[in-house]
Chains A and B, each alone.
Chain A
Amino acid sequence: MSASHQRLEMLGISKRFGSTQANYLVNLSVSAGEVVGLLGENGAGKSTLMNILYGLHRPDAGAIFLDGVQIDVSSPAAARAFGIGMVHQHFMLVQNHTVAENIALALSEAPAWNPVPYARAKIEEFGGRYGLKIDPGARVSDLSAGEQQRVELLKALMSGAKWLVLDEPTSVLTPREADELFVLLKRMTGEGHGIIFISHKLDEVLAITDRVVVLRHGRPAGECRTKDADQASLARLMIGRQIDKPSISNLTVPGEAVLDVRRLSAAGSRGPLTVNDASFVVRGGEIIGIAGISGNGQRELLETIAGMRPATAGTVSLCGVDITDHDVRTRTAAGLAFVPEDRLHTGTVPSFSLTDNAILRDAHRDLFSRNGFLDTAKARERSERLISEYEVAAPGPDTPLRNLSGGNIQKFLLGRELDASPKLLLAAHPTYGVDIAAAAVIHRVILERKAAGAAILLVSEDLDELLALSDKIGVMFRGELRAMFPREKATRERIGLLMGGAPATPEEVP
């Protein structure tokens, strides 16, 4: 066991995938009792670096050292043997099993026959030592994201991890759960663990880490002690230049009701109601933000409004016309635009060229086809227009969309949806996993549409984004639209509590 080791180092790590240099001469070290932040935009090479540390990839050059002795991390099993553990962004838990059963599965030394009592004893022991309270008999599918994350942490600790890599650990947590995680991390460093904390959120990195390593385009962009850094300096290192926050004009006066949702319910993919009796109105020139932890029905709400999911009760009206029973194409033609949550699996066809993607939702309209034949010249024209208007970095309109970075795909997708000047824009997590520069463009575009009189329904997990853009903010919890308030009355703390399930006061109820 590696309990007495003091320092884990990665030196001169380089890794190339095809034509992409994911890492180039990157150094990263962590000492016992230290939290190191690994900061960078999406696509900066953080995950590649950590996958190398965890034995999922082999570096093209460079090596890993433990107390100055080179180690060969050839597989995740080897990584665990060296005391390196990882908590992935997406949890690797069997949803239908209990906590104890999941832990038993992960413990190689557990007895083959009836391992659950052994796992329970271990959970008690480690839970007590780190203050990780968790019910071993609870089914994982009943746990919140924060609790599932604790199970993952327990798994890593029990398998003897001294060095822990946490990949974007707060992305699924409420602000309160994030605070609890930070307390836990402090406790773990007190026990002598070394922690690598991956994030692209500056405030978190400043709050929890001792030292920050910044990556940009796969290369080391800088390293500093956290106490010598501030948001501005880290942002500059991360993106290489200053980004101006969008200036928000509050001058637009909301106009006519564009979207009117009344007592809307919809079933989820798994059966039970995931949208339950939601009612609200979005007016022209107004942005309504919906906060909530992912999985509380926001996705289904937008899909139901967009026509991809049938409403089980209630009505949806667009500009006074009841569209509850209209199909997707009719709604699109009526001026409904939709930027879905998953841009690669829903919003685009990654293997298609940009031109083919530019007409995904309008291929059937006269605009882009004549007598059943596609008007490829018009499609190309739109594709080229989107590339230039929305600053999409792409070699050309014939490039397969999947070759673009997330931010550029998102700009292209947003541009496509806005190209026909829709009356209503539904946007789910428009800047999720997008680099700061692209996010700034996306925010600017959304605000321009608002100024032009479009109604916008914005779902996001990023409270800063919601607070910066929305006129009103609603909170969804377990399929219910729990609360709705004007931005000036909204605080991070109150929204955070409501996201976690706190009941709304009568004046907050929409």
Chain B
Amino acid sequence: MIMWKWRLESVSTPSSVRVGATMVLSILAGLSLGCLLFLVMGVSPLAAMVKMASGSFGSWYGFKETVTKAVPLTLIGAGLAICFRARIWNIGAEGQLLFGAIAATWVGLGLGHHLPGWLGIAAMFAAGALAGGIWAAVPAFMRVRWGVNEAVSSLLLNYVAAEFVQFLIYGPWKGKTQFGFPYSDDLPNALWLPTFYGSRLSWLPLVLAGAVVVLLTVLSAKTRFGYDVRVVGENPEAAAYAGIPFGRTVFAIMVLSGALAGIAGATEIAGVHHHLTYPWSISSGYGFTAILTAFLARLNPAWTWLSAILFGGLLVGGDVIQTSLGLPFATVNIFNGLVLIAILAGEFMIGHRFVRIQHTGDSR
């Protein structure tokens, strides 16, 4: 009697074709799972998919919205990719973004009237980077000094940051010109980033995101620092053996990713909102979605822009079906979660394969 059985085997060096094909297949698998979700919600999956696709990629307007969302995702995702590669789990990008937004608003409102526009904008971005970096330095310091798990502490600091934003907009920073809305006053017009016609997309953040992708790719692949980061992530004990300063490396990459999240916060203020507003309006979860962005890019900063555009499209598509099909926003979160699970499963399948084996069951 011959029996066929399937077994898992590991693939030590997957080819790039295998990686690409598996990624595409797993995204498709995730979208199919999403279709099931729409069925459960009582919506035609086909209609929902078409709406999502046409809303996010099907028109110039939609595509510009998608890219607008992809910019902060790229900025944050590239920084997180470096962190995660070192197995340092910065889950606090959302809070770091908000602190960047707070600092940028503060500088913009305080100095904006006294500085030429370009200098004011530069000061806003610098302040955003600094504040985001400092907010990330807190969990980094606690990790390096006392061994506090950075995933937990950085996550919790997100809530502190969000509450602080609310405190500001309902309290001391509540704008006198905002008709009672809990917004800060608007930035001086000179600090509004110029946008492409008919959209909220401005060129400066776009250029910045591109530059960050290039810089971080070079940093991680070509420099000594990038090498140290990879050693720390792959084998911390070998890092100690090589004399790579663990604390300094962890601190540097946490602060770097925090600063990038802070810059994303500044771009949202200067480019999109022009005042400090509700935390969920400033960010719409970029700090969390960027985690998925980094993983879909396989923790390679070079590919974060592509995965950011995909997730930007998902966010925009989610907004579209929310309004046009009347689905709750949570549906979009569930949908994104399903896609992520499929991607993570795909990540596993890149490194493993099923092999059919034969058992001969004959007796002597």
Contacts and interface: CB of A to CB of B under 8 A. Distances in A.
A379 to B, nearest CB: 10
A351 B351 CA distance: 13
B241 A346 contact: yes
Given A65-B364, A352-B230, A329 B243 contact: yes
B163 interface: no
B232 to A, nearest CB: 10
Given A68-B364, A349-B234, A352-B230, A372 B240 contact: no
The A contact surface, by secondary structure, is mixed
Interface stretch (A210-218, A356-364, A449-457): A356-364
Contacts of A356: 227, 230
Interface string B234-259: 11011011110100000000000000
Contact of A400 (B13, B228, B357, B360): B13
Q: Max chain B CB contacts within 10 Å: which of A70, A328, A342?
A: A328
B145 interface: no
Interface string A167-206: 0000000000000000000000000000000000000000
A119 to B, nearest CB: 37
A307 B243 contact: yes
A364 B224 contact: yes
Interface string A325-346: 0011101100000101010011
Nearest to A402: B12
B228 A363 contact: yes
Contacts of B245: 327
Contacts of A329: 243
A361 B243 contact: yes
Contacts of B231: 349, 352, 360
B225 interface: yes
B358 interface: yes
Interface string A351-385: 11000100111011000010011101000000000
Given A18-B12, A402-B12, A340 B227 contact: no
A285 interface: no
A486 B266 CA distance: 71
23 contacts: A17-B9, A18-B12, A58-B5, A58-B7, A63-B364, A68-B364, A70-B364, A306-B241, A308-B240, A340-B241, A342-B237, A349-B230, A349-B234, A349-B238, A352-B230, A352-B234, A359-B227, A360-B238, A364-B224, A372-B224, A374-B223, A376-B222, A400-B13
Nearest 10 interchain pairs by C-beta: A328-B243, A329-B243, A70-B363, A349-B235, A369-B224, A349-B234, A360-B242, A346-B237, A361-B242, A346-B241
Given A307-B243, A349-B235, A363-B224, 9 more contacts: A61-B358, A329-B243, A345-B237, A346-B237, A346-B241, A360-B231, A360-B241, A361-B243, A400-B12
